[in-house]
Chain A
Amino acid sequence: MAVTKVPGNSILRLVLHVGDSGSGSPILRNRSLTNVKSAASDQDIFDVATALADLQDYPLNGVTRVDNAALIQA
């Protein structure tokens, strides 16, 4: 009874720096784009993330990739 891992869709999360709080710490906002292929390469996801970040006002603080997988007992 082995458990197999089946990848599901990933999520691309743009972490945007929208401003600073009164005490000077950065205020970050996430913009998540779902339905990213699990097979997509990190480089491709990063390139799309930076291209999208270029279209909007806030500086990009970071790019996060969230991978999902289902565990199925065969």
Chain B
Amino acid sequence: MAITTTLRMSFRNQAGKTVSISLDNPKAGLTSAAVEAAMDLMIAKNIFTTSGGDLVSKYDAKLISTDTTDLYNPPA
């Protein structure tokens, strides 16, 4: 049994579509203020482009934990 956590930050682009950027192994005790600050910086620096234009606003940020249980492993 292994739990992996991913931080998924979602943005709206100029076309109104949602685009997300994910990071594995987020820091423990990540605050929403820290995540929001990073998202604001990404929008302000405006270095990313998408098929629907620039990132214009924050939409969502989630920590997603995936719990994986191994049921079968090939014999060695």
Residues of A with Cβ closer than 8 Å to B? 9, 12, 31, 33, 35-37, 40, 44-45, 47-48, 51-52, 54-58
Residues of B with Cβ closer than 8 Å to A? 7, 21, 23-28, 30, 34-35, 37-38, 41-42, 45-50
Of the residues A9, A44, A51, A52, contact of B49 by C-beta under 8 Å: A9
Query: Interface on chain B toward A: helix, strand, loop, or mixed SS?
Result: mixed
Query: Interface on chain A toward B: helix, strand, loop, or mixed SS?
Result: mixed
Of the residues B24, B42, B50, contact of A51 by C-beta under 8 Å: B42
Question: What are 27 A-B residue pairs whose CB atoms fall within 8 Å in the complex?
Answer: A9-B49, A35-B49, A35-B50, A36-B48, A37-B48, A40-B46, A44-B45, A45-B45, A45-B47, A47-B45, A48-B42, A48-B47, A51-B37, A51-B42, A52-B23, A54-B27, A54-B34, A55-B23, A55-B27, A55-B34, A55-B38, A56-B23, A56-B25, A56-B27, A57-B26, A57-B27, A57-B28
